[in-house]
Every structure is written in C-alpha cells, then in structure tokens.
Amino acid sequence: MYVDSHCHLNFPELAADLPAILDRMAANQVTHALVVSVNMPEWPGLMSLVEPHANLWASVGVHPDYEDTPDPSPEELARLSEHPKVVAIGETGLDYYRLSEPLDWQRERFRSHIRAARDTGLPLIVHTRSSAEDTVRMLREERAAEVGGVMHCFTETWEVAQAALDQNFYISLSGIVTFKNAQIVHEVAAKVPLDRLLIETDSPYLAPVPYRGKLNDPSKVIHVAEKIADLRGIPVADVARASTENFFNLFNKIKK
C-alpha cells in the first residue's frame, strides 16, 4: 500500500483525466493522495475536486513562487482549515531560485503560514529552493517544531535534512530520487530514518524513471518507493509500510 503525500491533481492536465488517474492509483495500490494548494484563487476548485473522493485530501496555502496573488492572513488560513478535508497548511516556504530580492513579502508569507499552523495544530508543507539557510532559520524563529510538518520534494543536503528532522519535520522524496545524477538526494534517501520518511510525486511534475519527461500522476509513486528501497538495500514493502504509516501519523486529521 502506497500514499502520495504531495500532488497537484487540480492542475488542468491532471484534473481532466481524474477518473483514469484514480483507476491507475487503485491498480498500483496507491490508496490516498494529498492534493496541495498553491494559491487562493484556485483553492475552491481544489476543494471541489477532493470533496467527492474519500481517498483525496487537501491543504490550504500559497506557494512562495506566486508573486502577484492574494496573501491570506493567519486567521483566514485557520478559518479555511476548519474544512474536514483540509489536513495541512501550505505549501509554503521560501524559493530564491527564480525571484530576486527584495523578497520580504515572501518571508512574511512564510511566517504567516507557520503562525497559522501553530494556531490550528496542523502540520506545515514546506517548499525550499536555493533558500535552505533562511528556511531553517525561520522555522526555528517561528517555533514550527511545535506542530512539525514535511520538507516536501527534498533536494537539499543531509545536513539540511538533519536540521529539519531536529525541528520535528519529515523528509519527503519525489521522483528526483530516481534520477541518476541526484547523488545528494540518494544520500538523504539512504540516511533518513524510516519513521520520518514520506514519498510523493509532486505531479504533474518530476515523473520518475522510467517515465522521466512525461506527465506524472500519483499512480507512479511506487517507483519512488522502489528506488529508495534499492538505495537502502531493503524490501520495497518496508518503504511502503513506513511511508504510509508516517503519512497518517503526520496528517492525523485523516482517519484510515
């Protein structure tokens, strides 16, 4: 049994094919998927997509890459998170890869999301790119360890992973772990404690080998688990069991 801890099924290229994707998930023993919010204008549509399906869940939040979009207050995020299908705050975080300073608006957005998570007790879904030092620092400053969360689509060093683990965060690996040149991610996959590991697709992006370059969806998360198992020298069933249990432990608003 597998779970996709981070996907974007509401994006047009996947939403249009949702019945077939759900069928492929079932065929590949992918029992649940968390559909992650990236902005507020699209959030009602995301909720309309997940509400009819017992195995689809949602978050609420604004991705750090979205510059010209409404910024919800911590109070608004907390109010929206009362929906029974919302199990996390995010995705949030910092991304300095595409955008240049001044980025105070991005850092303030991150702080607002952390505060909403602490107010609600829901875990954070954190995105970090070219910003690991500031991300870890701000998590400490805002006491994110009180609620914890997940560092999604993790591509940083083992040292950054350790800093996140120390703050009550899980590490989630995507299809990048199957890429031949992803040596840093391979090291993390081999070292992260099994009881702090999650797997994801981040679909429609980052399709794992042997589908690299093609459209991704949650049914392909099995290939992430297989690569992690290979790197650790353990049965894939162990990765499946641990990552699924971790998913329900972290996103504990979900009832099995």
Sequence-distant (≥ 6) Cβ neighbours of residue 236 within 8 angstroms: 222, 225, 226, 229
Sequence-distant (≥ 6) Cβ neighbours of residue 223 within 8 angstroms: 175, 178, 208, 209, 210, 211
Strand partners for 200: none
Model's pTM, two decimal places?
Answer: 0.97
**In tens digits, what is the pLDDT along the chain, a chain of 256 residues?**
999 999 999 999 999 999 999 999 999 999 999 999 999 999 999 999 999 999 999 999 999 999 999 999 999 999 999 999 999 999 999 999 988 889 999 999 999 999 999 999 999 999 999 999 999 999 999 999 999 999 999 999 999 999 999 999 999 999 999 999 999 999 999 999 999 999 999 999 999 999 999 999 999 999 999 999 999 999 999 999 999 999 999 999 998 7
Q: Output the known binding site.
A: 6, 8, 91, 127, 152, 202
**2-251 fold:** TIM Barrel (3.20.20)
Q: Output the known binding site for a divalent metal cation.
A: 6, 8, 91, 127, 152, 202
Domain boundaries, given as residue ranges, for the chain: 2-251
